């Protein structure tokens, strides 16, 4: 059956004969003609392009439940609630029709049923079909905004659809439609999105385009991760690298209240960095308190760690020691170890000895925040990828060949979200690097036996000197 558009001359060819229609819409120029025969078709109006993508192609053959149908009609309706709905009419050689329908959150197939088969029950918004009950769930008023092929209603009139969901199986429903001052009934079944869209030939083309968009989204994610890492490197330049100094010093004294000066060392660079002391402190006199001072040999600036009780250890006299000196300028420094009696006791004359085995680390940056942000950026892009490639956004993905990276970044404000994320990342790094509100702290810990573990490496107390004799001082480590 052929239909020639009376306006643009486009020829529409159908492999099936269509009767009992009320109009026709040209697939090329979108002109709407009214009439019940091809010869009497009269121009009425012209439609604009569809608001959303339609999967079916006019005249294509589709398979559904082992039956073949030819698509003879495509209609797109727009509801008062602001959502679109597509309807495709299929017809087979036996003149049996089928209706495929989809919208933002549904997809279904419907068959016409006689109105006598449906009983509207008087007790409420309920109907009965066969031996099943259906409850009214949705009511929509719709206007036709686009069409192609044969039509079976006045496209310039509004229609109302009432949807009754089966109480036993929510996938089945009855649709009551008021069109052209008449009422029609359809039995329908909801389908999974992919099962529904696979009915139409254009779905395979959509899958290919989906791969294109997915690849571009993956590229955006990779670029975002690399950019985040580069920003971290730039913002923390001068902090990432670190220098290490190792010392093993012994200080003898005659009084518990003493100050011992350590060796000088140079902190290199051009930016203030954190200086961390990690190691072992040993004292044979107890109880004792310990304070560590960092002294700038050029400016004589002194930074104190605070006082901590040197933990008593009957086995090896040792305490684990960690001191964080906050934001130290480059320069030449030495440490001063200040010992004192606990509880304000008077200074005692003792054969006092303090052993310090420690490592100084200047610089270094924590990567925890970077790792958390990298995970966050992957998670963020992943969420947008899931939303963009969802079937509800098929009309966006269908333009894949014409979509650039900026088009994808504009989708649902993905670009804005990424810019906000990067701004947060930069702000936190700048705040941390420029903050002067930090304190020098010292922590001590008890080391329990001769195989104790310090904060730097695995330590072992040396109890015996050469020849097996007891070594009364010093520490060994490995």
List Cβ neighbours of 143 (8 Å cut-off, separation of 6 or more).
77, 78, 158
Phi then psi dihedrals of residue 329, to 5 deg: -70, 150
Quickly count: other Cβ atoms within 10 Å of residue 38's Cβ.
16
CB 26 within 8 A of CB 45: no
What is the C-alpha separation between 33 and 36, in angstroms, rounded? 10
Residue 141, strand partner residues? 160
What is the C-alpha separation between 213 and 121, in angstroms, rounded? 50
Q: Going residue by residue through the chain, which has 478 residues, state the pLDDT in tens, using 9 for 90 and above.
A: 899 999 999 999 999 999 889 999 999 999 999 999 999 999 999 999 888 888 899 999 999 988 999 999 999 999 988 888 999 999 998 889 999 999 888 999 999 999 999 999 987 799 999 999 999 999 999 999 999 999 999 999 999 999 999 999 999 999 999 998 899 999 999 999 888 988 998 887 888 888 888 889 999 999 999 999 999 988 887 677 788 888 888 888 888 788 899 999 999 887 888 888 888 888 877 667 888 999 999 999 988 887 777 766 666 667 788 888 888 889 999 999 998 877 555 566 667 788 888 899 888 777 888 999 999 999 999 999 888 888 778 778 877 777 888 888 988 899 999 999 999 999 988 887 766 556 777 776 666 543 444 333 333 333 333 333 333 333 333 3
What is the C-alpha separation between 374 and 304, in angstroms, rounded? 37
């Amino acid at each position: 059956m052929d239909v020639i558009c009376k306006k643009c001359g486009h020829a529409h060819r159908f492999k099936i004969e269509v009767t009992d229609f009320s109009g026709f819409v040209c697939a090329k120029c979108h002109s709407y003609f009214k009439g019940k025969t091809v010869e009497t078709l009269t121009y009425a109006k012209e439609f604009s392009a569809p608001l959303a993508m339609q999967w079916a192609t006019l005249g294509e053959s589709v398979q559904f439940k082992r039956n073949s149908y030819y698509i003879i009609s495509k209609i797109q309706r727009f509801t008062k609630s602001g959502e679109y709905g597509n309807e495709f009419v299929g017809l087979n050689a036996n003149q049996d029709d089928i209706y495929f329908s989809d919208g933002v959150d549904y997809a279904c197939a419907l068959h016409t049923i006689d109105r006598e088969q449906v009983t509207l029950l008087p007790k409420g918004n309920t109907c009965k079909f066969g031996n099943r009950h259906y409850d009214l769930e949705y009511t929509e008023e719709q206007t036709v905004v686009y069409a192609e092929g044969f039509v079976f209603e006045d496209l310039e009139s509004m229609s109302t659809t009432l949807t009754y969901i089966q109480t036993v199986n929510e996938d089945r429903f009855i649709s009551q439609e008021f069109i052209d001052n008449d009422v029609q009934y359809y039995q329908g079944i909801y389908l999974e999105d992919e099962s529904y869209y696979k009915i139409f030939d254009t779905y395979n083309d959509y899958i290919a385009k989906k791969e294109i968009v997915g690849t571009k989204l993956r590229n955006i994610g990779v670029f975002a991760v690399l950019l985040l890492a580069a920003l971290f490197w730039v913002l923390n330049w001068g902090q990432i690298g670190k220098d290490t100094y190792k010392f093993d010093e012994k200080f003898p004294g005659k009084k518990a209240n003493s100050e011992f000066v350590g060796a000088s060392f140079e902190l290199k660079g051009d930016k203030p960095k954190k200086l961390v002391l990690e190691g072992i402190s040993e004292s044979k006199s107890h109880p004792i308190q310990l304070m560590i001072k960092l002294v700038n040999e050029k400016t004589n600036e002194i930074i104190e760690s605070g006082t901590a009780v040197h933990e008593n250890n009957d086995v090896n006299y040792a305490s684990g020691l960690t001191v964080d000196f906050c934001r130290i300028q480059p320069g030449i420094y030495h440490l001063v170890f200040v010992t004192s009696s606990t509880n304000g006791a008077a200074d005692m004359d003792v054969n006092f000895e303090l052993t310090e085995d420690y490592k100084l680390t200047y610089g270094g940056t924590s990567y925890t925040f970077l790792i958390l942000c990298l995970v966050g950026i992957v998670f963020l892009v992943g969420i947008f990828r899931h939303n963009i490639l969802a079937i509800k956004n098929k009309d966006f993905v269908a333009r894949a060949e014409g979509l650039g990276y900026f088009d994808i970044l504009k989708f649902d404000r993905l670009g804005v979200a990424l810019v906000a994320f990067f701004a947060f990342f930069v702000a936190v790094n700048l705040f941390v690097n420029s903050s002067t509100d930090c304190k020098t702290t010292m922590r001590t810990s008890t080391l329990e036996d001769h195989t104790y573990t310090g904060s730097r490496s695995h330590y072992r107390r040396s109890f015996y000197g050469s020849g097996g004799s007891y070594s009364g001082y010093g520490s060994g480590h490995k």
